[in-house]
Structure 1
Amino acid sequence: MAVVIFVLVLWYGGLFFQSFFLHRYAAHQVFTMSKVMERITFVLTWIFQGSSYLSAYGYGVMHRMHHAYTDTEKDPHSPKYDANLFAMMWKTKTIYQDINQEKVDVDSRFTKNVPQWKSFDSFASSRFSRLLWISLYIFIFAFFTTAWWQWLLLPLTFLMAPVHGVIINWFGHIYGYVNFKMKNTSKNLFRFDFLMMGEGYHNNHHKHASRANFGVKWYEIDITYLIIRVLDVFGVIQLKPIPVKK
């Protein structure tokens, strides 16, 4: 049971920081935080994502490109232009690495104000760091596993962040329902998003990308947004007001 709890902590902890920091802060900047808090969040993201750590810069830039080019040939990840989810994941990985290592020229509109901590990212993304986390996960499984089937969860701990990504970027463009008809295939995966903490309201998000709350209907509870509201109340972050469209 301890191993299952450990995997759940990694799942929801890593998912929260991917949604809160990489997605809503780095890519969309729906709230602000101090430089000190930003650095603390970089470290917490590394701790919870572990071996599958993603850079705020690489993720933020690539996600902005996804919104600009959704379901076109320029989209970094689209089921419409990839044969299967593994092909999409591999293409996404290549594009992410090229952006993060600044091997490609990127339009300034995609890089503006995206947080970057090069020295920390270099360490957190290194082979040494990833192998260190993998070794720790194996040790924990070896010590706490009580049934053979629990070992099947081990590969998930190695690739947690890519798994989170493929659920939204592949399945979230194929399965689910829509609240808004748009010129893309984005869908809401669940009416109550217990699995992805609000990230599953993908159709809503594509319609209102600047909103901190991805839920629209009364039953679409965005768990990450609720945590964001608490952090805002206590002054840890500062939510930006939603611009009123005239």
Structure 2
Amino acid sequence: MTILIFIVILWYGGLFFQTFFLHRYAAHQSFTMSKITEKITFVLTWFFQGSNYLSAYGYGVMHRMHHAYADTEDDPHSPKYDASVFSMMWRTKNIYADINQKRIEVDEKFTKNVPQWQRFDNFASSSFSRISWGLLYFAFFLYFATAWWQWLFFPVALFMAPIHGVIINWYAHIYGYVNFKSKDTSKNLLPFDFLMMGEGYHNNHHKHASRANFGGVRWHELDITYKIMQVLHAFRIIKLKPITQVVRRDV
């Protein structure tokens, strides 16, 4: 039971900071926060993502490229141009690393105002940090695992962020329903997105990329992350930008 609780905490903790900080803040800037709060959020992202830590700069730039080139040959991740989910994720990893380490030239429109704390990123993305987290996870499993099958969750803990990426970047471009006609293959993966905290409303998001609320088009589309963001806004921890009401058109 302890292992399952641990995995749930890692799943939703890492996922929240991925969608809240890396996606809605770094890539789309759907809200603002102070520089102090931003730095605290960098650290919290590292704490909850652990061995899976993703840089706000690398993620933010790559995700903007995904929207600009969705389902074309220039898309960093697309089921249309990769033979398998594994080849897509390997290509994504390489593009992310090239962006983050500035090994390739990137158009200024993709880098403008993307938050970066390079010194912290260098530490959080280092082999030392990733291996240290991996050893901590191993020690936790060694102490609390009470059955062999619980060790099946160990690689999930190590590679949780890539698993989150696979669910959205691969499966949410293949399965699900659409609210809006789109030039790409984005779909809403689940009617009620309990699994991905709103990230699964991918078709909604591709239609209205800068909108903080990914759900709300149909009555059952509850974006859990957005509800948390509304609480943070009420306590003046962040400041949400005004969002427009969207109306679904039959497709």
On whether the aligned pair clears a TM of 0.5, the verdict is yes
Q: What are the superposed Cα offsets for residues 20-78 of structure 1, whole Å, 9 maximum, x if unpaired?
A: 00000000000000000000000000000000100000000000000000000000000
Aligned to 2:237: 236
Q: Distance in 2 between matches of 1:244 and 1:168?
A: 24
Aligned to 1:146: 146
Unaligned 5+ segments in structure 1 are: none
Residue type of the alignment partner of 1:125: S
Q: CA RMSD in A?
A: 1.1
Q: What are the superposed Cα offsets for residues 164-190 of structure 1, whole Å, 9 maximum, x if unpaired?
A: 011000000000010111111000000
Q: TM-score, normalised by structure 1?
A: 0.98
Q: TM-score, normalised by structure 2?
A: 0.96
Q: Distance in 1 between matches of 2:243 and 2:107?
A: 25
Aligned to 1:28: 28
Residue type of the alignment partner of 1:112: K
**Cα drift, residue 218 of structure 1:** 1.2
User: Identical aligned pairs, as a percentage?
Assistant: 72
Residue type of the alignment partner of 2:163: V
Matched, 1:226 2:237: no
Q: Distance in 2 between matches of 1:137 and 1:12?
A: 16
Aligned to 1:116: 116
Q: Distance in 1 between matches of 2:106 and 2:244?
A: 27
Q: Distance in 1 between matches of 2:158 and 2:211?
A: 31
Q: Distance in 1 between matches of 2:213 and 2:89?
A: 27
Q: Distance in 2 between matches of 1:6 and 1:182?
A: 38
Aligned to 2:4: 4
Aligned to 2:249: none
Unaligned 5+ segments in structure 2 are: 247-251
**Cα drift, residue 242 of structure 1:** 2.9
Look up the SS of the partner of 1:235 in the other structure. coil
Q: What are the superposed Cα offsets for residues 176-221 of structure 1, whole Å, 9 maximum, x if unpaired?
A: 0101111110000000001000000000000010110000211000
Residue type of the alignment partner of 2:17: F
Look up the SS of the partner of 1:199 in the other structure. coil
Aligned to 1:176: 176
**Cα drift, residue 243 of structure 1:** 6.5
Aligned to 1:191: 191
Size of the aligned set, in residue pairs, is 245
Residue type of the alignment partner of 1:242: I
Alignment of 1:1-246 (within 5 A): 1-215=1-215, 216-242=217-243
**Cα drift, residue 244 of structure 1:** 9.0
Note closer, same or farther for the CA distance 1:244–1:180 as it changes in structure 2 (3 Å cut). Answer: closer
Residue type of the alignment partner of 2:232: L
Look up the SS of the partner of 2:102 in the other structure. coil
Q: What are the superposed Cα offsets for residues 99-144 of structure 1, whole Å, 9 maximum, x if unpaired?
A: 0000110000000000000000000000000000000000000000
Look up the SS of the partner of 2:60 in the other structure. helix
Residue type of the alignment partner of 2:147: A
Q: Distance in 1 between matches of 2:236 and 2:218?
A: 28
**Cα drift, residue 241 of structure 1:** 1.5
